[in-house]
Amino acid sequence: MCRPKLFATLLAVFVSAIPVLSAPTVSPRIDVMPLPASVIPAEGRLPVTAAFAVALRGHDDARLRAGLARALRRAEERTGLTFARTPQAEYAFAGEPSAATLVIDCAAAAAAVPEFGEDESYTLEVNSGQAVLAAANGRGVLHGLETMLQLLRSDADGWFLPALRIDDRPRFPWRGLMIDVCRHWQPAEVIRRNLDAMALAKLNVLHLHLTEDQGFRIESRRFPRLHELGSDGQFFTQAEMRELIAYAAERGIRVVPEFDIPGHATSWLVGHPEIGSAPGPYAIERRWGIFDPVLDPTNPRTYEILEGFLAEMAALFPDPYLHIGGDENNGVHWTANAAIQQHIREHGLVDNAGLHAQFNNRIHAMLARGGKRLVGWDEILHPDLAAGSVVHSWRGPEGIAAATARGFATILSNGYYIDLGHPAAAHYLNDPIPADSTLTAEQRRLVLGGEATMWAEWVSPETIDSRIWPRTAAIAERLWSPPEVRDIDDMYRRLAVVARRLEERGSRHESYLPPALRRLAGDDASADELAALRRFVDLLEPVKLYQRGEHQPDSTQFTPLTGLVDCARPDSAPARAFAAAVAAWRAEPSAEHLVALRESLREFAALGAQVHDGLGARAVRLREAQPLAAVLRDSSALALEAVGFLERGEHPPAGWRESTLATLAAAARPQAAVEFPHLTAVRTLIESAAAQP
The answer for 621, left when phi > 0, alpha when psi is -120 to 50, beta otherwise, is alpha
Q: What angle do CA 529, 517, 634 make, to 5 degrees?
A: 55
The helix (run of H) or strand (run of E) holding residue 229 is helix 225-230
Distance of closest approach, residue 1 Cβ to ligand ACM, in angstroms: 5
Indicate the residue among 379 and 541 with the shorter CB distance to ligand ACM. 379
Distance of closest approach, residue 473 Cβ to ligand ACM, in angstroms: 22
Torsion angles phi and psi, residue 250, rounded to 5: -55, -25
Indicate the residue among 292 and 328 with the shorter CB distance to ligand ACM. 328
Hey, what amino acid is at 149?
L
Q: What angle do CA 179, 428, 487 make, to 5 degrees?
A: 150
Q: Which residues, at least 6 apart from 609, have a Cβ–Cβ distance to it below 8 Å?
A: 629, 633
Distance of closest approach, residue 394 Cβ to ligand ACM, in angstroms: 4
Bond into 28 cis (ω within 30): yes
Distance of closest approach, residue 11 Cβ to ligand ACM, in angstroms: 13
Distance of closest approach, residue 328 Cβ to ligand ACM, in angstroms: 5
Indicate the residue among 212 and 312 with the shorter CB distance to ligand ACM. 212
Between CA 620 and CA 75 the distance in angstroms is 44
Chain residues binding ligand ACM by CB under 6 A are 1-2, 327-328, 377, 394
Indicate the residue among 144 and 326 with the shorter CB distance to ligand ACM. 326
Between CA 147 and CA 73 the distance in angstroms is 15
Distance of closest approach, residue 417 Cβ to ligand ACM, in angstroms: 7
Coil, strand, or helix at residue 675? strand
Distance of closest approach, residue 412 Cβ to ligand ACM, in angstroms: 12
Indicate the residue among 122 and 288 with the shorter CB distance to ligand ACM. 288
DSSP classification of residue 669: S
Indicate the residue among 377 and 585 with the shorter CB distance to ligand ACM. 377
Distance of closest approach, residue 325 Cβ to ligand ACM, in angstroms: 7
Between CA 626 and CA 521 the distance in angstroms is 12
DSSP classification of residue 284: -
Sign of CA dihedral 503, 509, 512, 517: negative
Q: Are 120 and 139 in contact (CB under 8 A)?
A: yes
Indicate the residue among 185 and 377 with the shorter CB distance to ligand ACM. 377
Residue 70 Cα distances to 63, 75, 267, 566, angstroms: 11, 9, 39, 32
Catalytic residue (one of 146, 258, 328, 529) = 328
Does the annotation count 346 as an active-site position?
no
Indicate the residue among 330 and 341 with the shorter CB distance to ligand ACM. 330
Nearest to 181 by CA among 227, 229, 235: 235
Q: Are 444 and 483 in contact (CB under 8 A)?
A: no
Q: Are 535 and 522 in contact (CB under 8 A)?
A: no
Q: Are 460 and 425 in contact (CB under 8 A)?
A: no
Nearest to 469 by CA among 489, 454, 450: 454
Between CA 642 and CA 252 the distance in angstroms is 54
Hey, what amino acid is at 183?
R
Looking at the DSSP bridge assignments, the partners of residue 254 are: 205
Nearest to 239 by CA among 192, 193, 188: 188
Nearest to 294 by CA among 327, 317, 321: 327
Indicate the residue among 47 and 549 with the shorter CB distance to ligand ACM. 549
Indicate the residue among 570 and 616 with the shorter CB distance to ligand ACM. 570
Helix axes 138-151, 188-200, angle to 10 degrees: 80
Catalytic residues: 328
